[in-house]
Amino acid sequence: MPNAIRSAATQPASAKARAVATLETARAARAAMCTLANAGRVLHAHPALAQLRLVQAAPYGTRLVLSVGDAAHVGDSAAVQVADDD
């Protein structure tokens, strides 16, 4: 079979395979964006989870200074203000 005929016969199958691959890539990208959006909503609703994740991800020996609530300034040495509700 001549190359031109063989090429013409395989073009539709090749185009379909590329389209399927492109569709799968788009689906994966959408799933990743949905996952990130959900994680963003959870972290917005529960900011302490972000601090917990930071502590979990920090390598051994890392010095972390976390503020709780409305701590004075991040630059202060671990200053924490506690509100009295009485």
Q: Find out whether 49 and 42 touch, Cβ atoms under 8 Å.
A: yes
- Global model pTM greater than 0.85: no
Type of residue found at 65: V
Each residue's pLDDT tens digit, 63-85: 888 776 665 554 544 433 444 44
Q: Alpha helices of the chain — where are they, by DSSP H?
A: 3-45, 47-57
Each residue's pLDDT tens digit, 35-69: 999 999 999 999 889 888 888 998 988 888 877 66
Of 66, 72, 46, 42, the residue nearest 54 (C-alpha): 66
